[in-house]
Amino acid sequence: MTIVKKCLFPAAGYGTRFLPATKAMPKEMLPIVTKPLIQYGVEEAMDAGITQIGVVTGRGKRAIEDHFDISYELEHQIAGSDKEELLSSTRDIMKRCTFSYTRQVEMKGLGHAILVGETLIGREPFAVVLADDYCVTEGDGVLAQMVKLYEKYQCSIVAVQEVPKDETYLYGVIEGDLEADNIYRVRNMVEKPAPEDAPSNLAIIGRYILSPDIFDVIRSTPPGKNGEIQITDALQLQAQQGRVIGYQFAGRRFDCGSIDGFIDATNYTYKAQTK
């Protein structure tokens, strides 16, 4: 049985919706209460048994690398104090995970960012997390749910969620046949359709398991919407061959790439932590 051992974090985008906060700081380092978005993503990967983390970064993103490394001065400063506990989660991550990084020099879209990550992944199935989609669940994390599905279906899997029809233009949207509870065999997918062109209200959110042939498919995918190489366009080819599953996951997702979603996630998490 093939298992998913690696997770890729495309994190090269400019995060323009959060300017000026993201002028010199990566969007992925914005904190939900005290933890940066990307740390939640890495913890979700660990929860799915994945410990090899690859990050596609860009200019001005060095804080991500520093976050998953030791800060000797800080460690020395708080040694023996009750503040040490606050670093236990990052210490645990560093003990269990390996991190590798590569840079996307030109931001040519999510599909392109994933292709840039090929050097970190090689020829094996892998997970992709967009850290600005922050997901909370009662039981297994979203990625853990998807890894289990991969063991059964052995093909690409996209996480989907119902969205209001007038918001389809913000997402990749799938059309598929219900195969089992919450599981669709995807026939067609459209990037950011106008509501009248949307084939359904099932939108793809930032969690994927991709089969390794996706890299070859992306290589031959021309730029699409906004002149960017879209992962949805590449997945469309696999979908036409019946090799994409849409999974309506159990849990709640906050779009932390938008200000409203970010504030909702912050309030939700703060309440959960102070309950």
Which among 38, 59, 24 is positioned nearest to 206, based on CA atoms? 38
Which among 17, 131, 112, 119 is positioned nearest to 67, based on CA atoms? 131
DSSP helix/strand/coil, 135: strand
Place of tokens 């995807």: 186
* 226 lines the binding site for ligand UTP (CB under 6 A): no
One-letter amino acid for residue 168 of the chain: T
- Kindly state the smallest distance separating residue 239's Cβ from ligand UTP, in Å: 20
**Which helix H or strand E contains 9, and what residues bound it?**
strand 6-10
CB 175 within 8 Å of CB 246: no
Q: Encode 212-228: b = buried (16+ Cβ within 10 Å), e = exposed.
A: eebbebbeebeebeeeb
Instruction: Pick one of 11, 53, 202, 244: the residue that binds ligand UTP (CB under 6 A).
Output: 11
Distance CA 202, CA 168 (A): 8
Q: Considering beta carbons, is residue 168 or 185 the nearer one to ligand UTP?
A: 168
Q: Considering beta carbons, is residue 12 or 209 the nearer one to ligand UTP?
A: 12
Between 125 and 164, how does the x/- string for binding to ligand UTP read (CB under 6 A)?
Answer: -----x-x--------------------------------
* 10 lines the binding site for ligand UTP (CB under 6 A): yes
User: Interface residues for ligand UTP in 93-122 (CB under 6 A)?
Assistant: 104, 107-110, 112-113
Sign of CA dihedral 67, 267, 248, 242: negative
Instruction: Pick one of 4, 7, 25, 27: the residue that binds ligand UTP (CB under 6 A).
Output: 27
Q: Considering beta carbons, is residue 28 or 153 the nearer one to ligand UTP?
A: 28
* 224 lines the binding site for ligand UTP (CB under 6 A): no
CA 273 to chain centre: 23
Between 248 and 267, how does the x/- string for binding to ligand UTP read (CB under 6 A)?
Answer: ---------x----------
* 12 lines the binding site for ligand UTP (CB under 6 A): yes
Q: Considering beta carbons, is residue 57 or 238 the nearer one to ligand UTP?
A: 57
Residues of this chain that bind ligand UTP (CB under 6 A): 10-17, 27, 56, 104, 107-110, 112-113, 130, 132, 257
